[in-house]
Structure 1
């Protein structure tokens, strides 16, 4: 059905009136001298045919000009027709997952390569393209299908996490209401808001949402955790498969292998690997057979470390075989000297630790000397022991950050402040602890269930004093790798040594970095790694069924509608063709 946007255009047809009048006016006869012999040379039949032909030719010219005027008058009325269209396909936003898991090789192609191929069939009349990495990136806004295809040909998957939820909310800002959003991904959501919440927001704006899962079954063995230490670091390696995997581990620096070993990881289990933190830059690499590993990006971590400086520690103890002494001796950063009371050497150390000391063996003047050294910059650590309350009352009251009042039983260790020496440390419950209260200006770093300080410190002159209230003999903490790492980090904190964790970062911490490796950050070169268990979980598993349920909920059907198609342009083109035909006709008649 044809309608008109400018009804006043009907007045344009009035132009036909003078046109018809001009054709109806007969021209005045003119006198001409004609030779009489021409009447003898032409037959009457020919004359009649010629006269008829001339009248017919005159009618053709009339019809051509009439059609041209009718076309121009109709164009003035702005005619249009309503065309049925799929409204959702007009404005289309395609979200392509560019996270690390999209590098998974499945057969002869990767998940990302299949995602690019799938995107070609979802382009709309106006296509927007969003790349869903750690931070959504709008690669194209309401461009052509050709522009979208050209951009996708240049895009590569990143080593970052997947933030599909924020990418979907970004598409809402582009579309407003209506339109269609197509998400092409393996749907391993590792960062940002939940996809279902974002979908609800889109469907409330009458926007159709389609999830296209391009993942298939895959296998993987990868590094899922990394705790850097100044001299010893810990990596966690997981076998996601249902069969055992043969694993090769190498510690590499400047192309040279510093350490290597072979091991077997059981199905769906985690192997903890502790290794030396080399000075400067290094890499930890794992090698797995191709049939057991379809994702390579999590097979290596980069390791950064500052220049190492040995810290002098004086351990005052009457137990030469303590857990703490063993942990301190295992550190290459600590230069340990042990003193057994009553004999105490000259105190000129960076850190002094009191552990399992017999009260009767301690000379009272020793604490005065310790206090003087702390005033000048040395740090002092008071460690939990059975008779510690006696020491606190008599000698260490001014040094201790906590006031002890009794003994309590089982408690969890609740970290209140995550800093250089508590971050990534797996504290275990303790069967005993002192009920205590923090003294003025003390900072409680970890506390018991009853809020008694378990780790606290305070400034004391130019130095620091620390209270450590976990009984080693009553906690499993001493039996795990975190124990020596904790003490090494605590001593580094007290001596204000550079934190090795400042040289080792996660890739999601900096949205501008999308590739693992060494990058400049905050004025220093740091190692950026993936180490994310969810991103490495490339097995399809139960994800497919959950995705179907989420897709069915809050679904919006693609809506049908109409689009106004203007016809005036087509009429003007037709008029131009008619006028061109008139010129050709007049030329053929011989009037030009």
Structure 2
């Protein structure tokens, strides 16, 4: 009740004066009557009259026009003082428009002589107002400019190009709503193929409308079946694979160009086919040679590290063919990229090696000068692998852990899902060193009492790995050589192939700005946005970005999107509050005038 009064009246306390109207009515009904004297000649008439008047107080009230006029006047004056507000329809003008232009890959689909994106830009121009805010909606919503005039907005629209990413309209709508107020409008021009996981543009529209923002949806494009595309790629060693999907109604022969080798692939109607091949070194372009309505999914780029000889130095006081080094030597020898050398302290030269391994070394034989040189090599980009052993922590090496005590048997508990420990079960170790990790270190595996068993940290440009598995049986496992191949690749900066072959829309953050050679040019940035299909060169690593989206490539969908509130005049009907106190005062004065007229006709003045 209180909410109703405060939302309907500006000064609701004045309504208390309505009590005076009630008091006036009560006084009128209970006013004293004149004393009656019976006259015999009139008794019969009086008795009949009283029977007629019994129970007639309501009738008397209703038939007294002067009283009704006074009550109505008092009520109107009271309401006028309370200043009531009513909601009325009123013409309003759109003061600002947010244009959301779908900039995802599917907008590159060709229909006739133009693309869907070309059609969208033309439509968007018809909805520009005096102030405009433009957002390009791809995998990430990009706010381009704000408070643009109509002419400025047209220039920006003309310059836009779509990305090669998936669609996330919901994020773009939320961004627009956050920058608009009531009475503004959002115009969404899209094919409405929403492909970002968990994105719901309908919910985003509902939230915007709840803020008093008007939403217009304009769909471009019609269903297209003329498309065959590469929708998935598995990059790995020694083989990789791609998946081709045929969106046509009939079986299709796909002519595939795989690094210069042609291959014909039969793909059933509405079906898929997987093509597996040996992973080449360097950058490989895989292309469907056949033309269709959506060329962006006809090619992918596969990035692999170029062939390189990795120089490895093993420092040990054990003989190269000793039992102590036997299994490590075997694990290193099966990696054809490695050139492994063995040196025995004190005479050690560590210069020029990519990886330095310390295992079963006599701590007193390793000279301070050699330790200093090892640290310098790591700071300049080399990798250091230190096996747990007595005396290791007396060497003043930049290790990721510090010694605490000696521990007993424990299972090896893997914490990090880094690529080089994926799918590996290290089993049990009969004994281990209890160590404490450096604040900058990352623990990959630990013991039951949470003592690090495998950990690493960055030192300068290089990395140091502590391997704390002692007297274990993991060296007998078939994964032992695989673990060391993966670990060495990681330590020298080689990511897994899945980490350098990305989907468009991916973001990479760096600690400081880096120079990036993109498919459209070279730039310096701290956040790399992979918004185009192609290759990206960052330092010594070449990344690939590919669409690889079954949903984004599916142009056959017929999305039903209703157009809401289309305003050709840039005006709309809106509910606005209106005060009616003046109107009530005029009515009260009018009734007061009628009251005066009634009194005049009665001859009371």
TM bracket, shorter-chain basis? 0.5 to 0.7
How far has the Cα of 1:439 moved from its partner?
A: 3.1
| Residue equivalent to 1:337 | 341
| Residue equivalent to 2:98 | 93
How far has the Cα of 1:377 moved from its partner?
A: 0.8
Deviation per CA, 1:455-475, whole angstroms, max 9, x where unpaired? 214799999753236875687
| Residue equivalent to 2:465 | 466
Which range is displaced more, 125-134 or 177-186? 125-134
How far has the Cα of 1:427 moved from its partner?
A: 1.8
Separation in 2, partners of 1:211, 1:541:
19
Map 1:561-580; keep pairs closer than 5 Å. 561=574
- Contact kept, 8 Å, 1:323 with 1:472, in 2: the verdict is no
Map 1:407-556; keep pairs closer than 5 Å. 407-409=409-411, 411-415=413-417, 422=418, 427-430=422-425, 432-434=427-429, 437-439=434-436, 441=438, 443-448=441-446, 450=448, 451-457=450-456, 466-468=465-467, 484-490=485-491, 492=492, 508-509=507-508, 516=519, 519-521=522-524, 526=538, 529-531=544-546, 533-534=548-549, 537-540=551-554
Deviation per CA, 1:251-274, whole angstroms, max 9, x where unpaired? 5xxxxx6xx575869966776766
| Residue equivalent to 2:188 | 183
- Contact kept, 8 Å, 1:187 with 1:213, in 2: the verdict is no
Which residue among 222, 230, 242 is the counterpart of 1:221? 230
3-state SS of the aligned residue for 1:113?
helix
3-state SS of the aligned residue for 1:456?
strand
Map 1:379-398; keep pairs closer than 5 Å. 380-382=384-386, 392=389, 394=390, 396=392, 398=394
Which residue among 137, 141, 144 is the counterpart of 1:132? 137
- Contact kept, 8 Å, 2:235 with 2:497, in 1: the verdict is no
- Contact kept, 8 Å, 1:184 with 1:214, in 2: the verdict is yes
Map 1:305-344; keep pairs closer than 5 Å. 310-314=310-314, 318=323, 325=330, 329-330=334-335, 332=337, 334-337=338-341
Map 1:290-305; keep pairs closer than 5 Å. 290=290, 294-296=294-296, 299-301=299-301
Deviation per CA, 1:137-185, whole angstroms, max 9, x where unpaired? 33574644x7655653443223456554443244235531133312223
Deviation per CA, 1:94-147, whole angstroms, max 9, x where unpaired? 211223443244676533234335535655676543322445233574644x76
Unaligned 5+ segments in structure 2 are 1-88, 376-382, 527-535, 577-605
Deviation per CA, 1:411-453, whole angstroms, max 9, x where unpaired? 54425xxxxxx5x657224151447643364723313595453
Deviation per CA, 1:239-291, whole angstroms, max 9, x where unpaired? 3557898574655xxxxx6xx5758699667767664554xxxx421112437
How far has the Cα of 1:192 moved from its partner?
A: 11
- Contact kept, 8 Å, 2:132 with 2:148, in 1: the verdict is yes
CA RMSD of aligned residues (A): 5.9
| Residue equivalent to 1:376 | 373
Shift in CA distance, 288/114, structure 1 to aligned 2, threshold 3 Å:
same
- Contact kept, 8 Å, 1:241 with 1:268, in 2: the verdict is yes
Separation in 2, partners of 1:304, 1:322:
28
Which residue among 569, 573, 582 is the counterpart of 1:560? 573
- Contact kept, 8 Å, 1:285 with 1:301, in 2: the verdict is yes
Unaligned 5+ segments in structure 1 are 1-83, 252-256, 356-361, 416-421, 564-592
Separation in 2, partners of 1:458, 1:397:
16
- Contact kept, 8 Å, 1:140 with 1:148, in 2: the verdict is no
| Residue equivalent to 2:176 | 171
Indicate whether 1:353 and 2:354 are aligned. no
Separation in 1, partners of 2:149, 2:462:
63
Shift in CA distance, 431/397, structure 1 to aligned 2, threshold 3 Å:
same
Separation in 1, partners of 2:393, 2:184:
71
Please give the TM-score of this superposition, normalised by the length of structure 1: 0.53
Which range is displaced more, 189-198 or 107-116? 189-198
- Contact kept, 8 Å, 1:411 with 1:429, in 2: the verdict is no
Please give the TM-score of this superposition, normalised by the length of structure 2: 0.52
Alignment length, in residue pairs?
Answer: 427
Larger relative helix fraction? 1
